[in-house]
Amino acid sequence: MKLIFAIVNDEDELDVMRGLSQEGYGVTKLCSTGGFLKSGNTTLLIGVDDEKMDHAIEIIKTKSKSRKKVVNSSMIGSSQGAVLTGYPIEITMGGATIFVTDVVKYIKE
Ligand code: 2BA
């Protein structure tokens, strides 16, 4: 069994969840915040049998769009220090950022 972590844009969340649910996948939604932009996004947890993993990922990819966004560089900071040049920079976000891990044990009572 695998656990898929899919970080998706808030605007894609409903489509992705609906697509997965319609195909019978269980989904848990977590509200999350990206470390770079410090703005909200959505993390979905999907537990799947190994042979279903690629199918589930395909649904997530199909329903997640790539977007361009212009942000002011002075808004971007990190623990290493903020970038304070104040120039607009264009970034391309998404589609989904996906991680897959092995599940050692799955218990549902
Ligand atoms: P954020 O960290 O807020 O990043 C939002 C977008 O900003 C990224 O979109 C990317 O286009 C840009 N970006 C991020 N770090 C950058 C950097 N050091 N320099 C220039 N541009 C940068 P995505 O790549 O589609 O990522 C969307 C969200 O997925 C991220 O939001 C974060 O929440 C998550 N994510 C992405 N890669 C991750 C990773 N390796 N581990 C954990 N979470 C990740």
- Residue whose CA lies nearest to ligand 1 atom number 22: 36
- Residue whose CA lies nearest to ligand 1 atom number 18: 36
Prediction pTM value: 0.90
Fold of the domain built from segment(s) 2-66+94-102: Alpha-Beta Plaits (3.30.70)
Q: Which of 13-17, 37-41, 72-76, 80-84 has the lowest mean pLDDT?
A: 80-84
Mean pLDDT value of segment 65-80: 77
pLDDT in tens, 19-50: 999 999 999 999 999 999 999 999 999 999 99
pLDDT in tens, 82-97: 555 578 889 999 899 9
Position 73 confidence tier, pLDDT thresholds 50, 70, 90: confident
69: helix, coil or strand? strand
| Of residues 19, 22, 91, the one with CA closest to residue 58 | 19
- b/e sequence 49-64, b meaning 16+ C-beta within 10 Å: eeebbeebbebbeebb
- Residue whose CA lies nearest to ligand 1 atom number 11: 93
Summary mean pLDDT of the chain: 91
- Of 16, 31, 33, 36, the residue with max ligand 1 atoms within 8 A of its CB, to mutate for a pocket test, comes to 36
